[in-house]
Structure 1
Amino acid sequence: MNWSELWTVVSGANKFSTAFSHVWLAIVFFRVLVFALAVQQIRGDEDRDFMCNTDEPGCSIVCYDAIVPFSHLRLWAMQLIFITCPSLMVMAHVKYRLRKDKAFIARHGTRLYNNPGKKRGALWWTYLVSLLFKIAFDAGFLYLLQYIYNGYEVPRLSKCSLAPCPITVDCFISRPTEKKIFIFFMVVSSAFSIFTCVCEIIYLVCKRIMKIISWMNEMKRINAIIELNSMIVEAKQRT
């Protein structure tokens, strides 16, 4: 997996974002950095270090699949990919606006958008939906991790009695404390990512509401001026 290419795309999409999204990007960068440097290159495949106190062929493989149905490292990699994909929605929409603006300039000689990357109209909704997707993906993977690891716990000892194990055997997961630390980091960083996305949604919605209120006040002021001018004209006509 080429993380640098994915990072370049996400960083390019983030230039159309707010300050909250820059904070989110910094958190994701730290998560990718930890995964790429401290985890992916050091850990590798873990099933070789999983042991059960039996020599029965196939017992350790079956028990490993039951106790660790999905590696939290692979789950983390999928999570990082999924949460960065919604940024591509915004980038694709901006690219569409740029092409549309160029075509409009070629036909009419004027610009259709003063700033194609400004979050107005449909682009505002695309940006909002991308934030909702980021929250949903992070929350979904947190739930999945909690479901697989039974409350984010990594047991030092697990019992297994699945066939072809002859009896109930004791199985040991390699480096459970290390795994628990990485899971804790994953959970905390995901929670911070969700928090920044929620803050950004609140910021965007409040900003939009303030603009609507300002527009309504401006319309009231214009209507009041029009009514006042009409009254003045009627008064002049009477005199």
Structure 2
Amino acid sequence: MGMQEMETVTCLLTGVSHFTSELGRTILIILSFIRFGILAVGSQTLWKDEEMDFSCNSTQLLCQPSCFDEYCPISSFNLFSLQLVVLFTLSLSLICYMPSKYKNREGSLLGHLQGRNQLKLHILHLLSRILIESIFIVTFFKVSPGLLQSGVAQCHSVQCEAFVICVDLKEEAKQMFSIGFCAASAVSGFICLGELLSSLRSIYKAKKTSHTKQPYSKQLC
């Protein structure tokens, strides 16, 4: 019972099934803790009140909020949090639809068929995870002002005067945290891609082996 619970927790943290290699699952667990750490520390320091850390040389009341929405339409913290929610939802669906590897240990036909269905589900979840990681990385670069920027931007809002300049006072620290989170997402995606190719290679070898053995079985009959 304890082993099954440990497998469930591992599957929840990694988002992959027991078909994944031990090294791959270990790295994915470490990456999950890194991402949790980035959000936990950033929520209390960098992203606690982003609008207060955004300063503009304007006296208009609505200028600074409108410039902040123009500069940062989606907060990096909200985007990264949404990414983790989607990944954990995918992990929960994997736990619900993929039985434990400790079940159906007997080499029966039913267990063999269930194993094949689990492998197909494993491949589908790897594809989904790669797609999710890629979509959120691309979305971040689309909506963010860009990495390695100074945090200074000119505001073009109609609520402001002409030539209003705004500065994000914590932009450099945010960039470091964002780079770390994006790097963790990219590494996670590459690990899932490697596991996907390994699974497809195993399926191809199994089919090739079955095709080579089939003529001999017919001769024996």
Fold in common (TM above 0.5): yes
Instruction: Give the Å deviation of 1:152.
Output: 3.0
**Residue matched to 1:49:** 53
Choose between structure 1 and 2 for higher RCO, CA contacts under 8 A separated by at least 6 residues.
2
> What secondary structure sits across from 1:210 in the alignment?
helix
Asked which structure has the greater CA Rg, the reply is 1
Instruction: Give the Å deviation of 1:225.
Output: 3.1
For residue 143 of structure 1, the aligned residue among 138, 142, 155 is 138
Unaligned runs of 5+ in 2: 1-8
For residue 97 of structure 2, the aligned residue among 93, 97, 115 is 93
Matched, 1:121 2:116: yes
Distance 1:196 1:12, change over 3 A: closer
Could you tell me how far apart the structure 2 residues matched to 1:51 and 1:13 are? Answer: 40
AA aligned to 1:41 is Q
Instruction: Give the Å deviation of 1:186.
Output: 1.8
Could you tell me how far apart the structure 1 residues matched to 2:109 and 2:154 are? Answer: 66
**Residue matched to 1:181:** 176
Deviations 1:42-97 (A, max 9, x none): 2312111111011211100000000011111111111122223222222111359x
Instruction: Give the Å deviation of 1:112.
Output: 7.8
Distance 1:197 1:163, change over 3 A: same
Kept after mapping to 2: 8 A contact 1:21/1:196: no
> What secondary structure sits across from 1:85 in the alignment?
helix
Once the two structures are superposed, the pairs formed by residues 219-230 of structure 1 within 5 Å of their partners are 219-226=214-221
Could you tell me how far apart the structure 2 residues matched to 1:138 and 1:8 are? Answer: 19
User: Root-mean-square deviation (CA), in Å?
Assistant: 3.0
Once the two structures are superposed, the pairs formed by residues 1-239 of structure 1 within 5 Å of their partners are 10-11=12-13, 16-19=18-21, 20-36=24-40, 38-43=41-46, 44-94=48-98, 113-114=110-111, 120-226=115-221
Unaligned runs of 5+ in 1: 1-6, 102-110, 227-239
Kept after mapping to 2: 8 A contact 1:70/1:148: yes
Instruction: Give the Å deviation of 1:35.
Output: 1.9
Percentage identity across aligned positions? 19
Could you tell me how far apart the structure 1 residues matched to 2:203 and 2:67 are? Answer: 54
Question: How many residues are matched?
Answer: 208
**Residue matched to 2:4:** none
AA aligned to 1:144 is T
**Residue matched to 1:229:** none
